[in-house]
Amino acid sequence: MSNLFPACGSLSHFNRRTLLTAAGASGLCWLTPVAEILARDAEQTRSARAKSVILLWLQGGPSQLETFDPHPGKRIAGGAKAIKTSLPGVSLAAGMEQTAELMDSVALVRSVVSKEGDHERATYNVKTGFRPDPTLVHPSIGAVVCHELPVGGCEIPRHVSILPGAWPGRGGYLGDRYDAFQTFDPLGPIPDVTKRVSDERFDQRLKSLDVVERAFARRRLRDLEERKTLQSTTIGAAVKMMSSEQLKAFDVQEEPQSVRDQFGDTPFGRGCLAAARLVEVGVRCVEVELGGWDSHANNHEIQTSRVKELDPALASLIRMLKERDLFDETIVLCGGEFGRTPNINPAGGRDHWPHGFSVLLAGGGIRGGVVLGETDPEGGKLEHPEEFEMSPGKGIQVANIHATVLHALGIQYKKELMTHVNRPMAISKGDAIPELLL
């Protein structure tokens, strides 16, 4: 970055006061200046209103039958009950009462299919829209959104993972700087953002660090910073974040108790509340994870306990986004890496099932009150057509969901990005689904 903004080369430049005086030349953010200029350019030509994504990630594989796609009375239901929703003729599983009232605001795809039945591989597939590839790592959707959309005035990480499990969103070939910033139950402090010494001493330390950095870079790899270490870029970003007012968005205790109660007194509920506050200050993608869906035994009990946390949080999130006029600017996505088998195994469990599972979408650019696709009430597999095709018995590929979301955000998803192995790669290989778009 020193090529473009020579003044930014020194680390001591990154202290708060200097930043305030030089606010205009804010090349010092989570993107390199080049990317930021490109992103600004993109901003001027954007027409889509949506600009953030909240991904409610249900790790472990939620059962479609006990969440968004019940088949009451059928053998495969195993006795699970369903409830009516605000959409005539559409049911959700019992336990989803609050979400059921909002069905006219959301779109539901009940026929998602993939070829990945292993947690890690399937998580990769659903988070990136691509199957794992031994030659490169694809960026997850949050990283793509951060890469493609403008920085705006955001000083804190634009890609955040709350309650991350084993596989939070990654930058992949876009680089580690697009990795999600990981943080935990919003009741606790945000890790490592508070200085341990006085401002004066901290600034002095950064100034001294310049001396050591210069000595190290001498006679070493050309463009050491850009090509390898990102050291001063990341320190700059870290320092900027430390003094940002926007950090308060993480603090859900600023919300009245009554609001917090609606989301549920759970880490996931608080995570969803924090997510709404974060998109309000300009964060591009927040993942909030709710784990524990992997019900190989005692399926019904496990799913019921998860749904109990999911329903109030999901519904309250949608309501809050609407109240705060953020619903049109934010896309809510809710789903897991695959569904669960229609057949119940001898342990009362359901196993992994990528042949027909549900994903919920809502918000900016997404048509509400749509239910797309259906699964076989007798428990058969859906077909896996390569191209998008809306017809009974055929599934919808994960990549098409990605293309739809990216399209709603105004991102040219067929555009190719250059990867570090010099291989051009389309942002998505799917097609946007017209039925889901406004």
**Site of interaction with another protein (CB under 8 A):** 30, 115, 134, 157, 166, 175-177, 179, 181-182, 191-196, 201, 204-205, 208-209, 211-213, 215-222, 224, 227-231, 234-235, 237-239, 241-242, 296-297, 351
Q: What is the rounded distance in angstroms from the CA atom of residue 155 to the CA atom of residue 195? A: 17
Beta bridge partners of 54: 286, 332
The nearer residue to another protein, 42 or 193, going by C-beta atoms, is 193
Q: What is the rounded distance in angstroms from the CA atom of residue 274 to the CA atom of residue 287? A: 11
Min. distance of Cβ 177 from another protein in angstroms? 6
Q: Which helix (H) or strand (E) holds 297?
A: none
Min. distance of Cβ 226 from another protein in angstroms? 9
The nearer residue to another protein, 248 or 420, going by C-beta atoms, is 420
The nearer residue to another protein, 348 or 377, going by C-beta atoms, is 348
Min. distance of Cβ 175 from another protein in angstroms? 7
Question: For residue 169, which amino acid is it?
Answer: G
The nearer residue to another protein, 23 or 218, going by C-beta atoms, is 218
CB-neighbour burial class of residue 38 (10 A; exposed 0-12, middle 13-18, buried 19+): middle
Tokens linked to 62: 């939620």
Min. distance of Cβ 256 from another protein in angstroms? 30
The nearer residue to another protein, 196 or 325, going by C-beta atoms, is 196
Q: What is the rounded distance in angstroms from the CA atom of residue 67 to the CA atom of residue 293? A: 11
Q: Which alpha helices (H) appear in 334-418, and where do they start and end?
A: 398-408
CA 368 to chain CA mean position, Å: 20
The nearer residue to another protein, 296 or 414, going by C-beta atoms, is 296
8 Å CB contact between 93 and 65: yes
Min. distance of Cβ 183 from another protein in angstroms? 9
Min. distance of Cβ 288 from another protein in angstroms? 18
The nearer residue to another protein, 193 or 259, going by C-beta atoms, is 193
Task: For residue 52, give the nearest of 432, 411, 438 by alpha carbon.
Answer: 411
Burial 162-191 (b: 16+ CB within 10 A, else e): bbbbebbbbbbbbeebbbbbebeebeeebe
The nearer residue to another protein, 81 or 115, going by C-beta atoms, is 115
Length, in residues, of the chain: 438
Min. distance of Cβ 113 from another protein in angstroms? 15
Q: Which alpha helices (H) appear in 102-178, and where do they start and end?
A: 119-128, 141-148
Q: What is the rounded distance in angstroms from the CA atom of residue 97 to the CA atom of residue 304? A: 12
Q: What is the rounded distance in angstroms from the CA atom of residue 90 to the CA atom of residue 87? A: 6
The nearer residue to another protein, 269 or 349, going by C-beta atoms, is 349
The nearer residue to another protein, 226 or 435, going by C-beta atoms, is 226
Q: Are strands 370-372 and 106-113 parallel, antiparallel or unpaired?
A: parallel
Angle at 179 between CA 177 and CA 185, to 5 degrees: 130
Min. distance of Cβ 383 from another protein in angstroms? 15
Tokens linked to 342: 């229609």
In angstroms, the Cα distances linking 102 to 11, 14, 106, 264, 377 are: 49, 46, 7, 17, 25
Min. distance of Cβ 310 from another protein in angstroms? 24
Q: What is the rounded distance in angstroms from the CA atom of residue 346 to the CA atom of residue 235? A: 54
Q: What is the rounded distance in angstroms from the CA atom of residue 96 to the CA atom of residue 310? A: 8
First to last CA, the chain: 40
The nearer residue to another protein, 86 or 229, going by C-beta atoms, is 229
